[in-house]
Amino acid sequence: MTGTVAARLKELGIVLPPPAKVLGNYVPAALEGNIAIVNQAPVVDGKVKYAGRMGAEVSLAEGEDCARITAINVLGALSAVLDGNLDRVRRCVRLGGFIAVTPEFKDHGRVMNSASDLMVQVFGDKGRHSRFTVGVVSLPADLAMIIEGMFYID
């Protein structure tokens, strides 16, 4: 991986992982024309790093780390579908976060800020995006979060 984005990742000390193994009949990232859509979870070395609900089994600080790890995984899956060339990203259009939470948890936005901040750190102004953040009762495999990213590609 060479180029501007690769240099930023190196400065940030980020090594992109390969896409996590999928658990069903889907792909971790899909590229159609100029649009790439990616869905990832907080997986490190093939294992779920954060499981459970934020506000119970997962603290706010852990939730912020969870979002950063998941965003790094989004970039890893995106890189894979772009043959390692993240300089093709014209813009991060949208990030969406599905966060497993307790009914009392109210810091969804703070959790997702970690993912949003990373996109801006990596892509600069091209990383600014629209966003949704949804608290849910549960996610597959007891995941604490799933992030979906939509990117416009040159």
- What is the rounded distance in angstroms from the CA atom of residue 82 to the CA atom of residue 51? 29
Q: How high is the pLDDT of residue 1?
A: 52
Q: How high is the pLDDT of residue 2?
A: 61
Q: How high is the pLDDT of residue 3?
A: 84
**Residue 15, CA distances (Å) to 62, 76, 154 in order:** 20, 9, 23
Domains of the chain: 37-153 (3.30.1330.40)
The 3-state DSSP class for residue 119 equals helix
Q: How high is the pLDDT of residue 69?
A: 98
For the stretch 15-28, pLDDT in tens is 999 998 888 899 99
Q: How many CB atoms lie within 10 A of CB 33?
A: 7
- What is the rounded distance in angstroms from the CA atom of residue 104 to the CA atom of residue 101? 8
Q: How high is the pLDDT of residue 137?
A: 96
Residues in the chain with pLDDT values less than 50: none
CB 74 within 8 A of CB 119: no
Q: How high is the pLDDT of residue 31?
A: 97
